[in-house]
Amino acid sequence: MWQRASLKQRLLALALAAIMLVWLGATAFTYHDAREEFDEVLDAHLAQAASLLVVQASHDLDELETEHAPLLHKYARRVAFQIWDRERQLRLHSANAPQQPLANRERGFSDNVIDGHRWRVFSTRDESGEYLIHVAERTEVRDELARGIAGNLLRPLWFSLPLLALLLWIAVMRGLRPLDKLAREVERREPDNLAALDASSAPREVVPLIERLNRLFTRIDASMQKERRFTSDAAHELRTPVAAIKAQAQVARAATAEAERIRALDNAILGCDRAAHLIEQLLTLARVDTLDRDVAEPCQLRDIAAETIAALAPAALEKGVQLELLAGNEVEVRGNPGLLRVLLRNLLDNAVKHTPPGTSVQVDITHEPGTACLSVSDNGPGIPEQERAKVLERFYRPLGTQGSGSGLGLSIVKRIAEVHDATLQIQPVNEGRGLRVTVAFQR
């Protein structure tokens, strides 16, 4: 129930609880302090009464004809005194005083229980030492008066607490009104409305929440726009190989010659391979977009390069292209080894596709203080300078590009480099010919 309580209820409950605790603590402290002062005052009255009896006993005691003093006050039955002589005879006492001594000591204060009643006693002797005087008070009187003091202290709490709760509720409602307004504004929004919330009239404490919501809306809008573009481009790119496969299947179905049918079926299989490659690239790109940057481990770049080259070498040799790993020392970076293999495989795929037969594609791994570089160089036609930034966009292929491709290879390389906080650089190899793609990792 507490977890489901509203913020208003929590604030009200915590405020009332804090006020009650402070009030009860202050009441307890005040009661304890007042009780001590109260006891001291009553003890002083006992001592003062005893001093009066001392004066009276030394002059008039022999002239008194009664041993019982009259009761003159409503609390008189709870206050008693005794006057004893040297022969331990009770010469004078109040009507409610017991026959036995109120105390066992002759001077000072003491607490005694007589006939089931607790007494606070002050004892002293007169100047001659002939008479022993006890003045006592039932502690019930003190307890009753202390309870009255405590009741007077607590009584305002019981009357003022409901009024205080009402005032606090009104204050909390007014104080949290900006949050209610913000909640209503968000609730009334359409799902596709990701415009920034207005923070101009919001309280200072609410502004950080609105700013973070606006940043969240911005990221969500950018992500949705990216997903829309990605879905549209993917649908457009997939439409071409699917249409080509369908066309080749129709040719094979209508073919009368065996050679024509086989050629059409081969082209359909090639179209299937292209579609499968495109789907694989799309899945790779989607996986990279959702990767957690914090998941990283030590990666040996030369080992990764050797494994990737060994896997792609047979296909490259079929095209008459040789893959080479230039000599050098091992270089370690932190990252995702699987994604680094995908990065290098895409670079090598692009290089092999655009490199003429009889040439080579070189992989070079170098390191400088604080930087590790992985570069792939080919002998292809290169990319014009004005096109180098565009080729990193998804599904973009420069005009006049030879060979098949989806336009995703360098986009995947760029995204994997961003995940690893690496920089990507594209430059020619020799006077505008060839292409070298360099990925620089911060070590």
H or E segment and range at residue 367: strand 360-368
Overall average pLDDT of the 67-74 stretch:
44
Which of the residue ranges 39-53, 214-228, 357-371 has the most confident prediction, judged by mean pLDDT? 357-371
pLDDT tens digits, residue range 246-276? 888 888 888 888 888 888 888 888 878 777 7
Q: What residue has token string 């009276």?
A: 56
Cα 101 from Cα 52, distance rounded (Å): 19
371 φ/ψ angles, rounded to the nearest 5 degrees: -140, 140
The 3-state DSSP class for residue 213 equals helix
Give bridge partners of residue 298 from the DSSP assignment: 334
pLDDT tens digits, residue range 137-165? 877 777 777 777 777 777 777 777 788 88
Cβ atoms within 10 A of the Cβ of 216, count? 11
pLDDT tens digits, residue range 356-381? 888 888 899 888 888 889 999 888 87
Q: What residue has token string 């005087």?
A: 133
Position 316 pLDDT exceeds 50: yes
CATH of range 191-290; options 1.10.287, 1.10.1740, 1.10.760, 3.40.50: 1.10.287
State the chain's mean pLDDT as an integer.
76
Position 394 pLDDT exceeds 50: yes
Cα 334 from Cα 372, distance rounded (Å): 11
Cα 164 from Cα 178, distance rounded (Å): 23
Give bridge partners of residue 378 from the DSSP assignment: 435
Predicted local confidence at residue 1, as pLDDT: 41
Predicted local confidence at residue 76, as pLDDT: 43
Overall average pLDDT of the 53-59 stretch:
60
Cα 438 from Cα 183, distance rounded (Å): 49
Predicted local confidence at residue 350, as pLDDT: 83
Cα 338 from Cα 287, distance rounded (Å): 11
Cα 282 from Cα 277, distance rounded (Å): 9
What the block records as the tokens of 227 is 């997903």
CATH entry 3.30.450 includes domain 7-163: yes
Overall average pLDDT of the 14-19 stretch:
82
Position 174 pLDDT exceeds 70: yes
Predicted local confidence at residue 276, as pLDDT: 79
CATH entry 3.30.565.10 includes domain 293-442: yes
Cα 378 from Cα 361, distance rounded (Å): 5
- Considering only CA atoms, which of 338, 329, 340, 337 is closest in space to residue 376? 340
What residue segments make up the domains of the chain, in order of their start? 7-163, 191-290, 293-442
Q: Residue 15, exposed/middle/buried by CB under 10 A (0-12, 13-18, 19+)? A: middle
Grade residue 72 by pLDDT with cuts at 50, 70 and 90. very low
Answer yes or no: are the C-beta atoms of 79 and 48 closer than 8 Å: no
Predicted local confidence at residue 295, as pLDDT: 62
Grade residue 392 by pLDDT with cuts at 50, 70 and 90. low
The 3-state DSSP class for residue 125 equals strand
